[in-house]
């Protein structure tokens, strides 16, 4: 059964309103106060219906995970018996194994925390590597995975009808396949060798990119180095233009400037993370998942 109330924080009011307009579910804003020492005080509505949804996209996640803990535990005391987390961006999914002795496997730890707090999780394009299903990372009774790739493909079809879709690395292949199949785009995937967060090497696919309008498509853009290096290689190989389409516009530090300096013309993203590049809205899909 669908939730009877959608809780949200003030900074996500616009997205909550879009979901409410699509679903017909009323919203309520959580009051948030920060003490001088950095601790948080949250206030929820005094009486809650049994079924609640909480919208919280987990970019810059550390403080937000504390918010989830406080909200979920408080909601239970106020009468909620079924809690659904809507996390359009789900953090801490990339670290799914210990690559060196002593490393924390954050996917397993954060996934278990979320499963302790919520009965269902709805997210978009989680960054999963070695597992196939979100339930393996977040063992909740109901886990729903949506994708921004089809909607980004629709946007690309409008703005670059003859685009060549390129994935910046092998992990992007699943999103490239979805988008290409939707509109019959030519497509390929680069090969990436990573030496660190900001040091990667990119090998272009064996495709003639000369005079093509190329769109780099991926699930996220964080530091921007992989996309920038792919764009420089494509332009050097004769591409007429390079644009970027991503589900999650993380864009840490100077990532935006890095992309422009690499010659990328436009960047389009979904509103899973609020950013000036947002061009696709996930509210209809998120509202449908709540039904």
3-state secondary structure of 137: coil
CB neighbours of 200 closer than 8 A, spacing ≥ 6?
A: 192, 193, 194, 225, 226, 229
CB neighbours of 88 closer than 8 A, spacing ≥ 6?
A: 15, 57, 123, 124, 270, 271, 272, 273, 282, 286
3-state secondary structure of 205: coil
Per the residue annotation, which of 8, 56, 127, 192 is the catalytic one?
192
Helix axis angle for 61-77 and 106-117, nearest 10°, is 20
CB neighbours of 181 closer than 8 A, spacing ≥ 6?
A: none
Does the annotation mark 41 as catalytic?
A: no
CA distance 141 to 111: 13
Catalytic residue set: 192
């Amino acid at each position: 059964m669908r939730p009877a109330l959608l809780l949200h924080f003030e900074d996500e009011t616009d997205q909550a309103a879009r979901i409410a307009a699509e679903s017909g579910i009323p919203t309520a804003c959580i009051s948030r106060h920060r003490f001088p020492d950095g601790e948080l005080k949250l206030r929820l509505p005094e009486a809650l219906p049994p079924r609640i949804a909480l919208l919280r996209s987990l970019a810059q996640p550390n403080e937000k995970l504390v918010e989830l803990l406080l909200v979920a535990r408080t909601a239970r005391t106020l009468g909620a018996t079924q809690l659904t987390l809507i996390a359009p961006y789900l953090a801490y999914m990339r670290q799914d194994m210990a690559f060196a002795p002593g490393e924390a496997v954050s996917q397993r730890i954060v996934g278990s925390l979320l499963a302790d707090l919520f009965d269902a999780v709805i997210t978009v394009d989680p960054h999963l590597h070695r597992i196939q299903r979100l339930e393996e990372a977040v063992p909740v009774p109901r886990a729903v995975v949506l994708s921004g790739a089809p909607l980004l493909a629709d946007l690309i079809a409008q703005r670059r009808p003859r685009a060549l879709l390129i994935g910046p690395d092998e992990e992007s292949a699943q999103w490239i396949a979805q988008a290409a199949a939707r509109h019959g785009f030519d497509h390929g995937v680069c090969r990436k060798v990573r030496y660190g967060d900001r040091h990667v090497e990119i090998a272009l696919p064996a495709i003639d990119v000369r005079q093509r309008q190329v769109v780099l498509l991926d699930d996220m853009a964080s530091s921007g180095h992989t996309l920038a290096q792919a764009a420089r290689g494509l332009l050097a190989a004769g591409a007429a233009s390079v644009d970027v389409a991503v589900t999650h516009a993380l864009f840490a530090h100077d990532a935006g400037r890095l992309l422009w300096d690499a010659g990328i013309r436009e960047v389009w993203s979904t509103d899973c993370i609020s950013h000036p590049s947002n061009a696709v809205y996930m509210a209809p899909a998120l509202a449908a998942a709540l039904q």
